[in-house]
Structure 1
Amino acid sequence: MAQALPQGVRHIPDFLNRAAQEALLEDIRAVVQAAPLYVPTMPRTGKPMSVRMTNCGTLGWVTDKERGYRYQPVHPVTGEPWPPIPEPLLALWQQIARYEAPPEACLVNFYEAGAKMGLHQDRDEQDFDAPVLSVSLGDTCLFRVGEKTREGGTVSFKLSSGDLVVLGGEGRLAFHGVDRIYPATSTLLKNGGRINLTLRRVTLTCLPRKIS
């Protein structure tokens, strides 16, 4: 029996077929060529995260010991502007997020076999009316999502290549994270691993909230 997800959290399994996944992967490879993956560090402690990351869009989410979590228009290592968000992801935003204003940031996280992501909220944005749209490519992971406080209960379920997750409405500020990666569960990435793409609207907009 499927577990009930917190209100506002949607899991859409197998949304992208293999051909769509392969095409999107090629787009992300082009993003990484223009904006190389790097190892971010935690605020204050400077502890390296277990994922490597990059971004595409007009803004990119970054973190480091000195300045903490933030969005900025350039890659922190190269100093170059982030490449644009690929068209298939913009189309997904229109179809699934159904938010009038386009996403400004797409965070690209690469998880190797032992990588994790602790429970956290996506709250560095100004616009909480816009949902967060996540796309999984590659190896399966165990995803955990809860309520708007750390004390709330959590639900865990597997995300496979081609799955989507939407955090919107009451679930926009839900705590969520990745507890583990299941190696060799997908053949999409030649050397294994998981790519997670997270589309976000960062700044406030005066446009209508939803597409009718």
Structure 2
Amino acid sequence: MPHIDFMSVLHKSTQRDYLARVNDADYPKAKASELAKKWDFDYWDGDRRICYGGYRYMEGRWEKVARALAEHYNIKPGDKILDVGCGKGFLLYDFTKVVPGVEVYGLDISGYAIANSKEEIRDRLQVGSATSLPFADNYFDLVISINTLHNLHNYELELALREIERVGKENKYICVESYRNEAEKANLLYWQVTCESFCTPREWQWWFELTGYTGDYSFIYFE
């Protein structure tokens, strides 16, 4: 269960004003979080002060991540990939560009995201919960979950991690938000609008060990 970082290249490309996020006059943190946790228009395509401010497909943005994952896990045409918390499916779509012939599947709690997902793969995506994956045991050659599991409450984490382990074969990769010191904890609290599980890396590793998760993982830090 090694630590492998596929996500920092994207995460560090964004500049963040943490205090402005908390103190905004129109969308103070509590209001922004209430809107974001509906997982609807405001979360994806509403005001940037709430969350993404327009989550649109950008040519090449996710392709570098898809390529790195495909190369590391030796993904081949015909292999099956599941993205738990797929959003609008942009990463899955780029998998189909990097490895033509790959079978992609996505699941997300947001009906809005699925309805507004990448049209080319929309029929491969569905609304659902990470705590109950509607797939058979050992069905997927790669299961990924990026920036999703920290949005679950602690009582849901065990179910979700066990489900990811159940439906995946050998290759699994999870990326979650975390913090290593008080400064990163404060920044995480200031910036996040949907996070429910605030865990240090060691706490996340405790969850992985508790649930028997055998895949790879990495952490997002707000430095």
TM-score tier, shorter chain, comes to: 0.3 to 0.5
Name the TM-score, length of structure 2 as normaliser: 0.31
Larger relative contact order, structure 1 or 2 (CA cutoff 8 Å, min sep 6): 1
More strand, by proportion: 1
More helix, by proportion: 2
Larger radius of gyration: 2
Name the TM-score, length of structure 1 as normaliser: 0.32
